[in-house]
Amino acid sequence: MSADAAGRGMRAAVIHRYGGPEEFRTVAMPEPVAGPGQVLIDVTLAGINYADLHCRTGEYERYPLPAVLGADVVGRRRGDGRRVAALLRSGGGYAQVARAEAAHTVEVPDGVDDGQALALLEQGATAYGALTLAGRLRPGETVAVTSAAGGVGHLAVQLARELGAGRVIALASTPAKREFVRALGADRTLDPGGPELAGRLAELSAPGGVDVFVDLVGGGVLRAGLDALAPFGRLLSVGARGGAEENFSVDELADRSAGLVGFWLQHVLADRVLFAGIAERLFRLAADGRLVARIDRTVPLSGVAAAHRALAGRETMGKVLVDVHQEDRAG
Ligand SMILES: NC(=O)c1ccc[n+]([C@@H]2O[C@H](COP(=O)([O-])OP(=O)(O)OC[C@H]3O[C@@H](n4cnc5c(N)ncnc54)[C@H](OP(=O)(O)O)[C@@H]3O)[C@@H](O)[C@H]2O)c1
Domain positions in the chain are: 9-107+294-330, 123-267
pLDDT tens digit sequence for 218-272: 999 999 999 999 999 999 999 988 777 788 899 999 999 999 999 999 999 999 9
The better pLDDT of the pair 264, 1 is held by 264
On the question of pLDDT at 277 being above 60, the answer is: yes
pLDDT tens digit sequence for 41-68: 999 999 999 999 999 999 988 899 999 9
Residue 60 in contact with ligand 1 by CB distance below 6 A: no
Tell me whether the omega of the peptide bond preceding residue 64 falls within 30 degrees of 0, making it cis: no
Average pLDDT, the chain: 95
> What SS3 class is residue 213?
strand
In CATH terms, is domain 123-267 a member of 3.40.50.720? yes
How much of the chain is in helix, strand and coil states, percent to nearest 5? 35, 25, 40
Of all atoms in ligand 1, which is nearest to the CA of residue 240?
45
Q: pTM for the complete prediction? A: 0.96
Cross-strand partners of 45: 74, 323
Residue 49 in contact with ligand 1 by CB distance below 6 A: yes
Of all atoms in ligand 1, which is nearest to the CA of residue 312?
33
Q: What's the pLDDT score for residue 150?
A: 98
Q: What's the pLDDT score for residue 322?
A: 98
Cross-strand partners of 40: 99
Count of residues making up the chain:
331
Of all atoms in ligand 1, which is nearest to the CA of residue 243?
31
For residue 7, what pLDDT band results from cuts at 50, 70 and 90? low
On the question of pLDDT at 5 being above 80, the answer is: no
Contacts of 187 (CB under 8 A, 6+ apart): 167, 168, 169
Q: Which CATH class is domain 9-107+294-330?
A: alpha beta
- Mean pLDDT calculated for residue range 197-217: 97
Tell me whether the omega of the peptide bond preceding residue 207 falls within 30 degrees of 0, making it cis: yes
Residue 222 in contact with ligand 1 by CB distance below 6 A: no
